[in-house]
Structure 1
Amino acid sequence: MMMNRRTFASALLAGAAASLISTRSMAATTPPVKARNVVLVHGLFADGSCWTEVIPLLQAAGLNVTSVQNPLTTLPDAVASAQRVLDRQDGPTVLVGHSFSGMIVTEAGVHPNVSALAYVAARAPDAGEDYTALAKTYPTPPASAGIVFDGDEGRLTEEAFLRDFAGDIPEAKAKVLYAVQQPFHKALLTGKTTHAAWRSKPSFYAVSTEDRTINPDLERFMAKRMGATTIEVKASHLGLISQPGAIAKLILDAAGAAK
């Protein structure tokens, strides 16, 4: 007998708890509004397809899901691309960001359709904060040494991508992800947020404990500062691919839809 969609989602998510090191609620002041939509945003060294392991889990739970194609040009351009997708949503929406796109979630998350925010090993600056300066107060993660530039466009070398970005992904699959890596513009890294949506919206954060792209202790600091409901996942920077069940469950919690 075939399982229905919700039973299928429950079965796929059942193993998520085993991948979590700890779960803690850090002062979420109000429970999230029940959402019907999820908007996902990717970070550097990736494209919208990086969410393909998480998307079917959310869809099987009955959520409408859209993965934004981040232009990776400037922060205003990236925020605008997310805002256009948010404008199309027909009700409460969880806005989710991985890695650099935490900047986008922090800025665009003030959109009236956004009911909750979810950060996956992501940047989470305060309004006007110099994220680069904040990151320098922690040991530099290994992936930083693997960034190379062709003029104004930056990317990770294959060695750094496989070792420091996708370290817990099978090599053959990691090489496919490397092949679709999108270069980012230097100007993207100079942008600063003007809003901090996490100050007014329920926030959720997944820390990747084996992260070699963003320092895990920096992730913990940002999650604690925003009062996020936080999980820790034994994963590389790509926990959304290596531990999709855990990440999907966090998003379902943010959507008020977890069972």
Structure 2
Amino acid sequence: MKALFSGLALACGLMFSTHASVASAQETARAEAKNVVLVHGAWADGSSWSDVIPYLTAAGLNVISVQNPLTSLQDDAATAKRALALVNGPTVLAGHSYAGNVISEIGDDPKVSALVYVAARAPDAGEDFNALASRFPTMPVRAGIETHNGFSTIAKDAFLKFFANGVPAEKAQTLFAVQQPVATDLFAGKTTTAAWHTKPSWYAVSKDDQTTSPDLQRFLANRMHATTVELDSGHLSLVSHPKEIADLILEAAGIPSH
């Protein structure tokens, strides 16, 4: 009987050791992330990450900021996939705003070690995200959206006051000048994958967001069981709070911030 108990104890010990080793291996894999692929949102371009990138490169990460065409979810996903194909090894995939759709769609790639959502959409596979968002307050920027020839932009007053709230005036003017029009049916695209179900996820909530409801952001972060931070920021936290966003990405990469 003593031998039986000893055998059981040994087996349990081996099982515990195996589980601990797996957990340790998962942590090590995430800690070994050497790349970051940054995906911008609607009415913006890759330069919206410009103030975050220096913090990431200073930490030794290889960084790519994609340039989405914003013509369809499929087109944007294909663009981000091409960027992801250029890097080797574990990679953090980060998306701002609409780009949460993109990183959810392609984040099941084996080289993606973690996902970071910045005031971002995070739909489930096949979910009607517009229907979900309608359960939360409509934000002021909506009234400033204008449509011309199948593409939409944000009128200047609404862009500066609501989309770029909290951003220094000169910087906000520059962002308005480079805003990229989006296809009017862009937000109707549905993801086929929700990578946050299987990949470790982080979420930065913008508490003073006038574009995407902060309560919607909190709902999404909670649903994906993300490691979450809340920032005293408008929608463009990657511009107004670049260090905090960089720190979150570094945490997802397993790299201590300074």
Please say whether Structure 1 and Structure 2 have the same fold, judged by a TM-score greater than 0.5: yes
Is the aligned partner of 1:172 residue 2:175?
no
| Alpha-carbon distance in 2 for matches of 1:214, 1:127 | 20
Q: Give the number of the structure whose alpha-carbon radius of gyration is greater.
A: 2
Q: Show the counterpart of 1:133.
A: 131
TM-score under structure 2 length normalisation: 0.88
Is 1:33 the counterpart of 2:25 in the alignment?
A: no
Output the CA distance in 2 between the equivalents of 1:205 and 1:173. Answer: 24
| Structure-1 residue corresponding to 2:77 | 79
Q: Which of 196, 219, 237 is 1:198 aligned to?
A: 196
CA deviation vs aligned residue, 1:159-179 (integer Å, no higher than 9, x gap): 010011111111111001000
Structure with the higher fraction of residues in helix conformation? 2
Aligned partner of residue 33 in structure 1, secondary structure:
helix
Please tell me whether the aligned partners of residues 87 and 113 of structure 1 are also in contact (alpha carbons under 8 angstroms): no
Cα RMSD after superposing both structures? 0.9
Distance in structure 2 (CA, Å) of the matches to 1:141 and 1:227:
25
CA distance in 2, matches of 1:228, 1:150: 37
User: Cα deviation per residue 1:206-238 (whole Å; 9 max; x = unaligned)?
Assistant: 000000000000000000000000000000000
Q: Which deviations, in whole Å up to 9, do the C-alpha atoms of 1:77-105 show, x marking residues without a partner?
A: 00000001111111100000000000001
Determine the C-alpha separation between the residues in 2 that align with 1:114 and 1:231. 21
Provide the rounded CA distance (Å) in 2 between the counterparts of 1:198 and 1:258.
Answer: 23
1:67 corresponds to: 65
| Residue identity opposite 1:164 in structure 2 | F
Question: Aligned partner of 1:47: which letter?
Answer: D
Task: Give the Å deviation of 1:189.
Answer: 1.7
In 2, Cα distance between equivalents of 1:77 and 1:147: 22
Query: How many Å separate the matches in 2 of 1:119 and 1:50?
Result: 15
Aligned mates of 2:188, 2:137 — CA distance in 1? 21
Give the paired residue count. Answer: 230
* Alpha-carbon distance between aligned partners in 1 of 2:125 and 2:148, rounded to the nearest angstrom: 31
From 77, 82, 100, the counterpart of 2:98? 100
On the 8 A contact 1:97/1:119 being kept in 2, the answer is: yes
Report the alpha carbon displacement of residue 187 of structure 1 after superposing the two structures with TM: 2.7
Tell me the SS of whatever aligns to 1:224: helix
The percent identity for this pair of structures is: 56
Runs of 4+ in 1 over 2 A off after TM superposition: none
Match of 1:245 among 240, 243, 246: 243
Q: Which amino acid aligns with 1:233?
A: L
Where does residue 255 of structure 1 map in the other structure?
253
Q: Distance in 2 between matches of 1:77 and 1:187?
A: 13
| Residues 34-86 of structure 1 deviation map (CA, whole Å, 9 limit, x = unaligned) | 20000000001100000000000000000000000011001000000000111
Residue of structure 2 in register with 1:218 after alignment:
216
SS at match of 1:240: helix
- The runs of 5 or more residues in structure 1 that have no matched partner are 1-29
> What stretches of structure 2 of length at least 5 have no aligned partner?
1-25
User: 2: distance between equivalents of 1:62 and 1:43?
Assistant: 25
Q: How does 1:223-242 map to 2 (within 5 A)?
A: 223-242=221-240
The answer on 1:47 being equivalent to 2:45 is yes
CA–CA distance in structure 2, aligned partners of residues 178 and 189 of structure 1: 20
- Structure with the bigger RCO (C-alpha within 8 Å, sep 6+) is 1
CA distance in structure 2 between the aligned counterparts of 1:170 and 1:233, rounded to whole angstroms: 17
Q: Within 1, Cα distance between the matches of 2:51 and 2:234? A: 15
Instruction: Kindly indicate whether the alpha-carbon contact (under 8 Å) linking 1:118 and 1:203 is maintained by their aligned counterparts in 2.
Output: yes
TM-score (norm. length: structure 1): 0.87
Counterpart-to-counterpart distance in 1, 2:108 and 2:211: 27
Tell me, in whole angstroms, the C-alpha distance in 2 between the residues paired with 1:232 and 1:257. 20
Distance 1:145 1:129 in 2: 25
